[in-house]
């Protein structure tokens, strides 16, 4: 799938985003929300403290497995808070942002903040472009026919049935984050390697000590596996609907203006407040990509302005319900998977687009792209 060029109506392309930015800024939606993030942080750390206290008091019991999914959800929410911090939605200065991000990412969640920032910068700069967007070149899923045909061995078999294996594969996401963290910190390819190594090592040492002190070895292994699997599925389900099953971006389309480059490969969720809370606001993916530093609390009102503006200038704005989004994703993965094993003389079926599978509602800032080393 390829992003198609979409003509504008009424304004020049150069001015499209500038006008949208002005409207959103005039509505006061770009200002930081310190009270919101203070309350959110306090609630999440209180929930984490309560879960850990209950874990310690419950002791060596298989009932501990009931706490594992809850801990995964809280860690996922803390990771989403770290996402907002990295985008400078919380703090204005880089030093405070980096320190808070490293403390939260490496020490609390156990994921390298520096690795994630570099990875996420590339995603925001080149959404859904193969070879440039890490999310479009994921190990677990083949997003294009070419990627599927390049697979070999077990990976090729997995690609063939990746639609059916979608949720089981998502359970490996947390393990992938741990592996990426270990590789990155071993190589020292981050801005603060000593601090990141120290805090990440402290995270895993404390986690191991807590598990082995409170549980039997088998219980500890089961708890860690269940928590990691739920965390992987949770994070995967948050990020998958944003771009999977949406058009891939080709080099010609990427030369388009910022507005189209960010809107066309992105999908918003049509859902209630509770779902958007679980998604950490990232169900408003279009607005997040246009205004990366916008606080989560402002994304919902911003979506009304962006949707109306995209309709005004003739830019498709994709929205779909949660179930429809996952149907689109699995349909796209299935079509790509079917290309595995197709000979050079037999044409593969084209990958399904989000418009046909999800039946999205089509209606349709920039901020400058982030400086190197800082997610935006």
- Provide CB contacts within 8 A for 320, sequence distance 6+: 241, 267, 268, 269, 270, 328, 354, 358, 359, 360, 361
Residue-averaged pLDDT of the chain: 85
- Provide CB contacts within 8 A for 206, sequence distance 6+: none
- Provide CB contacts within 8 A for 198, sequence distance 6+: none
* pTM confidence score: 0.84
Order the strands of the 318-320 sheet from edge to edge. Answer: 268-269, 318-320, 361-362
CB-based contact 259:290 (threshold 8 Å): yes
Residue written as token pair 């200038």: 313
User: What pLDDT was estimated at residue 350?
Assistant: 43
* DSSP structural state of residue 269: E
For Cα atoms 98, 103, 108, give the angle at the middle one, nearest 5 degrees: 140
Tens of pLDDT along 253-284? 556 789 999 999 999 999 999 999 999 999 99
Tens of pLDDT along 156-215? 888 899 999 999 999 998 998 899 899 988 888 889 999 999 999 999 999 999 999 999
Specify which residues 362 forms β-bridges with. Answer: 318
Query: Cα separation of 284 and 271, whole Å?
Result: 10
Is residue 144 predicted with pLDDT exceeding 70? yes
pLDDT confidence of 13, banded at 50, 70, 90?
Answer: low
Backbone dihedral angles phi then psi of residue 13, each to the nearest 5 degrees: -60, -35
Could you give the C-alpha distances from 288 to 3, 103, 176, 298, in angstroms and in order?
A: 19, 24, 25, 10
Residue range 80-92: average pLDDT?
95
Helix (H) or strand (E) holding 268: strand 268-269
- Provide CB contacts within 8 A for 145, sequence distance 6+: 336, 339, 348, 351
Picking from 168, 171, 174, the residue whose alpha carbon sits closest to that of residue 110 is 174
CB-based contact 286:263 (threshold 8 Å): yes
CB-based contact 31:337 (threshold 8 Å): no
For 349, the token pair is 């079926």
* DSSP structural state of residue 264: T
CB-based contact 266:286 (threshold 8 Å): yes
């Amino acid at each position: 799938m390829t992003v198609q060029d979409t003509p504008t109506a009424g304004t020049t392309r150069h001015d499209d985003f500038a006008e949208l930015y002005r409207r959103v800024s005039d509505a006061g939606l770009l200002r930081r929300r310190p009270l919101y993030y203070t309350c959110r942080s306090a609630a999440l750390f209180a929930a984490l403290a309560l879960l850990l206290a209950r874990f310690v008091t419950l002791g060596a019991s298989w009932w501990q497995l009931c706490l594992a999914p809850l801990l995964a959800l809280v860690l996922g929410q803390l990771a989403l808070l770290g996402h907002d911090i990295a985008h400078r939605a919380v703090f204005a200065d880089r030093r405070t942002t980096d320190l808070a991000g490293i403390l939260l990412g490496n020490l609390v969640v156990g994921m390298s903040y520096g690795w994630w920032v570099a990875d996420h910068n590339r995603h925001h700069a080149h959404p859904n472009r193969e070879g440039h967007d890490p999310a479009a070149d994921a190990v677990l899923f083949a997003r294009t026919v070419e990627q599927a045909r390049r697979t070999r061995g077990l990976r090729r078999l997995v690609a063939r049935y990746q639609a059916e294996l979608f949720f089981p594969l998502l359970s490996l996401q947390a393990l992938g984050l741990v592996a990426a963290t270990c590789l990155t910190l071993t190589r020292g390819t981050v801005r603060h390697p000593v601090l990141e190594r120290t805090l990440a090592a402290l995270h895993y040492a404390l986690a191991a000590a807590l598990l082995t002190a409170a549980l039997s070895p088998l219980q500890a292994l089961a708890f860690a596996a269940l928590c990691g699997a739920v965390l992987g599925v949770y994070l995967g389900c948050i990020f998958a609907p944003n771009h999977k099953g949406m058009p891939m971006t080709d080099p010609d389309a990427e030369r388009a203006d910022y507005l189209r480059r960010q809107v066309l490969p992105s999908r918003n969720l049509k859902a209630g407040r509770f779902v958007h809370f679980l998604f950490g606001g990232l169900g408003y993916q279009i607005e997040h990509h246009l205004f990366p530093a916008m606080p989560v609390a402002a994304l919902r009102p911003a979506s009304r302005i962006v949707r109306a503006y995209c309709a005004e200038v003739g830019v498709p704005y994709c929205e779909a319900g949660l179930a429809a989004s996952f149907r689109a994703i699995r349909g796209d993965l299935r079509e790509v998977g079917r290309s595995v094993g197709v000979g050079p003389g037999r044409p593969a079926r084209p990958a399904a687009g989000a418009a046909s599978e999800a039946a999205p509602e089509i209606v349709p800032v920039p901020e400058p792209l982030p400086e190197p080393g800082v997610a935006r």
